Chain A
Amino acid sequence: QSALTQPASVSGSPGQSITISCTGTSSDVGGYNYVSWYQQHPGKAPKLMIYEVSNRPSGVSNRFSGSKSGNTASLTISGLQAEDEADYYCSSYTSSSKGVFGTGTKVTVL
């Protein structure tokens, strides 16, 4: 199972919106509505931000939203804040039932 493809880095100014893409295949992202997104600050464990493509767990800011089109899922962060600077990973259900993460995206707040 190959890793899902994410851009290495995305940046934006405070208050702006940014979007991180996550590209897979019809055997993972494109075939199921089970895409999750995680935020990871340096030296910390990942945090679940989005599940089932666009659902937010309790306590996650509504500035984070998810969507999907075809084989590509996206995470949008609106009203970018300094605390959003972190690494972000997508993950998807796969036809083999094995797990797979994206390659990771470093978000920089300018």
Chain B
Amino acid sequence: EVQLVESGGGLVQPGGSLRLSCAASGFTFSDHYMDWVRQAPGKGLEWVGRTRNKANSYTTEYAASVKGRFTISRDDSKNSLYLQMNSLKTEDTAVYYCARAYCSGGSCYSHYYGMDVWGQGTTVTVSS
């Protein structure tokens, strides 16, 4: 079964750090771009960032709201995706989803084809 499972969410004080993990199974993880998307309580979806695959040098992109504070990484040997969040702010409170890029024409690029597999989400609450 194709699956993504996030973990690592919780309550953290402003200025603190948290590391989210996303465990993938049931597909060739290394082929896919992987994204993080978040959703604040009662709000819409917000793209957080992306890591490309090995063929594209594992380069990353970030939303302006998190650039310099968040770092996305992946370990293809462990089929895992990570989101290191530093200098957390109250406005970072949200459900965080990891998502797999959809494949079309043999390429699995999220910025072209969207994301077809999502985790269940992990909740991050930033509050004092």
B50 touches A99 (CB 8 A): yes
Tell whether A10 is near chain B: CB-to-CB under 8 Å: no
| Cβ–Cβ < 8 Å partners of A38 in chain B | 45, 114
Interface size of A as a range: 20 to 34
Stretch at the interface among A46-54, A67-75, A78-86: A46-54
Q: What is the predominant secondary structure among interface residues of chain A facing chain B?
A: loop
Measured between beta carbons, the chain A residues less than 8 angstroms from B62 are: 98
Q: Which residues does A use to contact B, with CB under 8 Å?
A: 1, 3, 34, 36, 38, 40, 45-48, 51-52, 55, 57, 87, 89, 91, 93-94, 97-104
The residues of B with any CB-CB pair to A shorter than 8 Å are 35, 37, 44-47, 50, 61-64, 97, 99, 102, 104, 110-116, 118-121
9 nearest A-B pairs in the assembled complex, by CB-CB distance:
A99-B47, A36-B114, A45-B118, A104-B44, A101-B45, A48-B116, A51-B114, A51-B113, A34-B112
